[in-house]
Amino acid sequence: MRKNITLIKKKLDKNSEIILIFLLFIFFITESISKISIYTGQQKSDFQAIIKALVLLFVSTGLLFQKKKEFYYLLILTLSFSIGQYYILDSFEQSSLAYFTKYIFAIALFGFFSVDFSRPKIKLLHIFEYLLVINSVLILIGFLFEISFLQSYLGNRFGYNGLLITTATGTYFHIIGLCYFLMRYKKNILKKWKFWLLVIASLLIGTKSIILALAAIGLFYIFTYLKSKRVKFSLFALAVLGAVGFGYYLFYLNPLFLEIKESQGFLTSFLSLRDLLFTESTLPYIQEYWKTINYLFGGVSNFELRPQMEFIDLLFFWGIFGGLIYSCFYVKSFISFKLDKTFIFSIILLFSIALLAGNFFYNASLPIYLLILRESFCINQQKSV
């Protein structure tokens, strides 16, 4: 039995790049199918959820036999989730169980596909680049011809996200793509046409988060790779002017956010009504249904009441103690090596955006893209050895 498990482990390690390429394709394609289903008036396809459930089952089984420590992470989180659920009304609802699987999906996937600096996954990275290009081209086509199917929003708000089903996924997909280019090509990033195509498409997504990310990446590049103080100052001033100009347009000229600012205030406009979701939906639920133990382990029967600000969402679902455990396991499963400043910057940027935008830890589409970001770091580390 042990020999068979060892043999399977070796085969999986040897073919890990092929497996990740398959998962990247299948996740992207099923995401596209789900969006097509919605925009053509059909019922939303469950194929995407079924695929990810099967992948979770597969990698969890792999952890059980290969990596006990990571499997114990899942067991501890299951216990924490169960404690929180036990002490609320309407516990263990189907929607709560679904969000639980989404939360642990990333940890299971990160733990299963461990870092291997000796086997760089170059084909995986090339395919990821071309998926970025394909989606960026579709965003441009959607913008030029006003194709509603490729829009970010169903209403009148501006934005295009290509084949990605949600605005959050589109935003994170492109931010991770930008960080990927920065990490892989470093100073030479400006010479890559794919990067500039991605920048243009990112601007057309139409979210505040991606504008903030572009500004942060620009400033990081300026102060990390440029030597001339005059050039640094000029570009910094230009970046600040651009950010101020965008902010002025967004909150003083854009009809949607201008109306929110005038009726609800600047903070509500900046947070896209998320503060109201917290005070009018999340907080009343906590005050009415939570017992003392729920503040430690969370517990919610309707997670749609979350404000979509990641830190608060995390506490709402897991509680204070459960949230700390989850955060610790997430980081430990994703990072098991010494970091450089570009990777640290990328992680801080993603987590900072998540604090404002939410839909990060429980977005089951993101882990495969984060794994690719990690693989780009591994290739750079191998080159520097």
**151 backbone dihedrals φ, ψ, rounded to 5°:** -75, 160
Q: Which two tokens stand for residue 311?
A: 């830190």
* 160 neighbors 204 (Cβ within 8 angstroms): yes
Q: pLDDT value at position 385?
A: 44
253-259, Cβ contacts within 8 angstroms, sequence gap of 24 or more = 256/156, 256/157
User: Residue 85 has what pLDDT?
Assistant: 95
The separation between CA 114 and the C-alpha centre of its own chain, rounded to angstroms, equals 19
Structural domain boundaries in the chain? 2-118+204-384
Nearest to 180 by CA among 225, 235, 217, 223: 217
95-136 pLDDT, tens digit per residue, is 899 999 999 999 999 999 877 766 778 999 999 999 999 999
For the range 184-187, what are the long-range contacts, defined as Cβ-Cβ under 8 Å and sequence gap of 24 or more? Answer: 184/125, 184/376, 184/379, 184/380, 186/225, 186/342, 186/380, 187/225
Residues of the chain with pLDDT under 70: 1-13, 41, 43-45, 117-118, 154-156, 250, 253, 256-258, 380-385
What are the φ/ψ torsions at residue 160 (nearest 5 degrees)?
-135, 135
Q: Which of 129, 117, 15, 28 is nearest to 62 (CA)?
A: 15
Burial class for 215, CB neighbours closer than 10 Å (0-12, 13-18, 19+)? middle
Please report where in the chains the tokens 């925009």 appear, as a residue: 39
Yes or no: say if 88 and 312 are a contact pair by the CB < 8 Å rule: no
Annotate 110-122 with DSSP letters as a single string: HHHS---TTS--H
Note the pLDDT of residue 371.
Answer: 94
pTM: 0.91
What is 222-259 written as a DSSP string?
Answer: HHHH---HHHHHHHHHHHHHHHHHHHHIIIII-HHHHH
Distance CA 182, CA 62 (A): 33
Instruction: For 267-322, write each residue's pLDDT tens digit.
Output: 777 777 788 889 999 999 999 999 999 999 999 999 999 998 899 999 999 999 99
91 within 8 A of 297, measured Cβ to Cβ? no
- Say what angle helices 94-112 and 310-334 make with each other, to 10 degrees: 30
Q: Which residue has 């600012």 as its token pair?
A: 261
Q: Which is nearest to 334 in space by CA: 382, 370, 364?
A: 370
Counting Cβ atoms within 10 Å, is residue 216 exposed (0-12), middle (13-18) or buried (19+)?
Answer: buried
